[in-house]
Amino acid sequence: MPVTTAYWAEHAWLRRPGAPAPAVEQQVLVEVGGDGRITAVTPGSGPCPPRAVRLGGLLLPGMANAHSHAFHRALRATVQVGSGTFWTWRDQMYRFAAALDPDTYLALATAVYAEMALAGTTCVGEFHYVHHTPGGAPYADPNAMGEALVEAAARAGIRITLLDTCYLSSGFGAAPEPHQRRFSDGDADAWAARAAAFADAHRGTPHARVGAAVHSVRAVPAGQLATVARWAEERGAPLHVHLSEQTAENDACLDAHGATPTRLLADHGVLGPRTSAVHATHLTGEDVRLLGGSAASVCMCPTTERDLADGIGPARDLADAGCRITLGSDSHAVVDPFEEARALELDERLRTRRRGHWTAAALLRAAGEDGHASLGWEEAGRIEPGALADLTAVALDSVRTAGAVPRLGAETAVFAASAADVRHVVVGGRHVVRDGVHQLVPDVPAALRDSIAALRGR
C-alpha cells in the first residue's frame, strides 16, 4: 500500500505554533514524505487540490490503544451471562488462552487489530503473556506467539508495541497453576533472555517496537522485579504493569510484604517516567504520591473496569500528582477510543457528582499523544511537521455528531461520536481505512467471527 503524499481535511484539530491549546482549523492540507512523516501542515489552504485525498469531517491525530489483550476479544458476550467477579471472569479467560496457538492467534489478532483500525486506532500496546505451548514447553521458535502478534498488526495496517510480559507465579511466589504454565519462562533471567532475542529481531521493524511488562506483583516475585526493570532501563523501552486492579491483590501484597503493590514496585525500581501502571484502581494517598513523583503514566481502561466491576480509579488525583493519563480497551468489551475517553470524565462525574474534570482537548491528548508516548512512539499523536502521518477522520454529519458547530469538533468527537463515526484512518501516510472500509482486511466482521469460532471449536 503506497504512501499518499497529501491529504486535505475539511476541519482538523491542530496546535498552531505559539498557541496555548489546539483548535479546529478549516481547509487543512497535510503533506507527507516518502518516510511516512508529515512534511507540512497548511490551514486555510483553500479547496482540496487535485493531488490530495479529501478527508471529510474532523481530522484528529491517530489514537493509541495503550493496553490490549487481543485474545480477550473472544470473550465478548460469553462473559456477560450471569453474574460474578473479576476472578470468575478470569476462569473463562483461561479457557480461551488454552486454545491459542500461533496460527489461531495470528488470525484472531489480525481481526481484532483491524477492528481497532476501523475505530480510529493507529497504534496498539499489546500486553502479551501467552508465550509457550499449553503445557509450558517453548515452541520451536520461543517467540512464535509474539511474532504472530507483530505480523497481525502488519496485516491490519497499524503500529504495535509488543509489551513482552514476565509472568512467573500464580501468586506471591506460588508455582504457576496448570493453565498458567504457558505464561511462564521459569524465572526473570530466562524471561529476559527470550525477550532480548525478540527485541533484537525487531530492531528496525518499521511498524513494531518491543517493550517489557510485569504482569502484576502477584505474578512476578519481588526479588525478580528488578530484573525486568533493568531490562527496560538498559533498552530505553516502555515498562508496563497491572497495578491494584483488585482489592484482593492489595490485601495479599500487604500480607506477603507489608507494603502496597505500588510501594513494592517503587522499592524495587519499577516506577519511573517510562513506566505505565495499568488500572491503578485501588490506591492509597501514598500510592498516588509515589506514582506522581516518579512521573509514571497511568493507563485507565474504563470500559473494562466497569465491565468487570473493578471500580473507578482516582484518575484526576493521579493527573494532579504528576501522572500522564492514557487509555486502553484491555479486554475489548468495547473497542471504541471515544467511549474510553469520555468515560474517563463521565466516571469521575459519577464519583464526585461534579462536572468538568477534563477538557475535550485533554481527553484527546490522553487517547492520542500521551498514549503513543507511553508506548515508545513519541513522534506520533500530533498533526505537525516531523510527526508520523497517523491520522483519524471522524464524521461530523452522522446522527450522533450532526448539528454541532465545527469549532466545537473536539467536544463533539469526545462526547458524542463513536467508533462508527470513523470514516478514514491513515498510518504512516497509508490510507488503511477509506470511507469506513478497511483496505487490508476486506471483511472484518467475518474475520472476527471465523477466528473466534476456531477457538471455541477446540
Chain mean position to CA 327: 6
Angstrom distance (rounded) from CA 414 to CA 341 = 6
Assigned C-alpha cell, 1: 500500500
Angstrom distance (rounded) from CA 379 to CA 372 = 8
The reply to whether 207 belongs to the active site is: no
Residue type, 442: P
Angstrom distance (rounded) from CA 114 to CA 158 = 8
Angstrom distance (rounded) from CA 64 to CA 416 = 19
Torsion of CA 136, 100, 298, 211, to 10 degrees: 60
Q: Which of 164, 287, 310, 330 is catalytic?
A: 330
Compute the C-alpha angle 275/350/369, nearest 5°.
Answer: 35
Angstrom distance (rounded) from CA 34 to CA 41 = 16
Order of strands, sheet of 437-438, starting from the edge strand that comes earlier in the sequence: 38-42, 23-32, 6-14, 53-61, 391-394, 422-427, 430-434, 437-438
Is the CB of residue 309 less than 8 Å from the CB of residue 282? no
The reply to whether 11 belongs to the active site is: no
Q: Which of 69, 128, 240, 279 is catalytic?
A: 279
Active site residues: 279, 330
